[in-house]
Amino acid sequence: MQLLVFILVYPFLWLISILPYRLFYLFSDFVFFLVYHVIGYRRKVVRENLELVFPEKSTKEIHRIQKDFFKHMCDLFLEMVKTMNLSKADIKKRYHIVNVELIQEIEKEKSILVPCSHYANWEWNVSLNLYVQSKGYAVYQKVANKYFDKMVKDFRSKWNTEMITTHETVKTVIRNEKKGVKSIYGMVSDQSPMVVHAHYWDTFMGVTVPIYNGTEVLARKLDLAVVFLKVSKVKRGYYQAEFIPITVSARNTEPNEITKKFIELTEQQIKERPEHYLWSHKRWKHRDKVPPEFLDLSKA
């Protein structure tokens, strides 16, 4: 069944990936019409998330952000498909890094963890490997369909970035450090961890929720550098990335310092242009399960 689904869907995705940009974004407009106006995909989830974190905004403002988010989400999904046939020249034109020299300087001395959020276009972050000397890795969630999983790994790896699953991350980093192999690891770090696996809670956009702190734990254990990757949408189909250093020596930071800084930078990014954040996932679903030791955060 997995192979049948792949055989039926893959040609359609390939055709989308070769569309000229004008037709490509016209198709995205059509997908937006279907997703937003006809299907109504997760409109309630998006609206509830926006109302939760922006209680000061009017109904009109919430509606505007919601609608703009769905337009962006359709672009994002299709841009991920576009990666299948995206050239090196095209990605450099459409995804510009303003201060790549910062990461190039740090990589001379240390391996680097590069956390980012579900904002703008995190799919094209894999093009970072075009600018650095260190071995590049990108952490991803394995796709259930093994054929689509291979397809995703293939097009995300086209610029020599090696894809590793979340379960492979720790052993990969430790192995490389033991061998003295300087590497750069990109990871989307604003997911909502399962409550049973949540070791740290904090306020995110004013709401106390479990926070994934694996990046900090790993960085402090191995004394890695941590650099936040801020990606902004300049205009449709064009993005700008900026590296913001959190620490060049994680072992010299205070407990939770790295995680708190990541939260702060992510919040700043969201507040600048909220429509470019991934509001369709249930990031705040565990807000009513705060452990007693973190209750004071809810009152802050």
Are the CB atoms for 124 and 97 separated by under 8 Å? no
Q: What's residue 158's pLDDT?
A: 87
Nearest to 52 by CA among 62, 64, 42: 62
Q: What's residue 197's pLDDT?
A: 76
Q: For 103-128, what is each residue's pLDDT tens digit?
A: 999 999 999 999 999 999 999 999 99
Please determine, for residue 191, whether its predicted confidence score (pLDDT) is greater than 90: no
Spans of all domains in the chain: 2-299
Phi, psi of 240 (to 5 degrees): -125, 130
Please determine, for residue 70, whether its predicted confidence score (pLDDT) is greater than 70: yes
In this prediction, residues 201-227 reach a mean pLDDT of 95
**How many secondary structure helices (H) and strands (E) does the chain include?**
11, 9
Q: What is the pairing mode between strands 112-116 and 183-188?
A: parallel
| Helical (H) or strand (E) element with 232 | strand 225-235
Q: 123 CB contacts (<8 Å, ≥6 apart)? A: 76, 79, 80, 83, 156
Residue 194 pLDDT grade (very low, low, confident, very high; cuts 50, 70, 90): confident
Please determine, for residue 269, whether its predicted confidence score (pLDDT) is greater than 90: yes
Are the CB atoms for 230 and 214 separated by under 8 Å? no
Structure tokens at 16: 């989308």
Q: Is 107 helix (H, G, I), strand (E, B) or coil?
A: coil
Q: Which of 199-208, 219-228, 241-250 has the lowest mean pLDDT?
A: 199-208
Q: What's residue 297's pLDDT?
A: 60
Q: What's residue 290's pLDDT?
A: 84
In this prediction, residues 188-193 reach a mean pLDDT of 89
Residue 195 and residue 80: Cα distance in Å, rounded?
30
Q: For 274-299, what is each residue's pLDDT tens digit?
A: 999 999 999 999 998 888 777 666 55
Q: List Cα–Cα distances, 55 to 12, 60, 62, 211, in angstroms.
A: 41, 12, 9, 22
Q: What's residue 296's pLDDT?
A: 66
Q: What's residue 220's pLDDT?
A: 97
In this prediction, residues 187-195 reach a mean pLDDT of 88
* Strand arrangement of the beta sheet that strand 95-97 belongs to: 95-97, 238-247, 225-235, 112-116, 183-188, 135-140, 162-165
Q: What's residue 294's pLDDT?
A: 73
Q: What's residue 193's pLDDT?
A: 85
Please determine, for residue 12, whether its predicted confidence score (pLDDT) is greater than 80: yes
Residue 222 pLDDT grade (very low, low, confident, very high; cuts 50, 70, 90): very high
Q: What is the mean pLDDT of the chain?
A: 94
Q: What's residue 183's pLDDT?
A: 97
Match 């802050």 to its residue by tokens.
300
Instruction: Output the pTM of the full model.
Output: 0.94
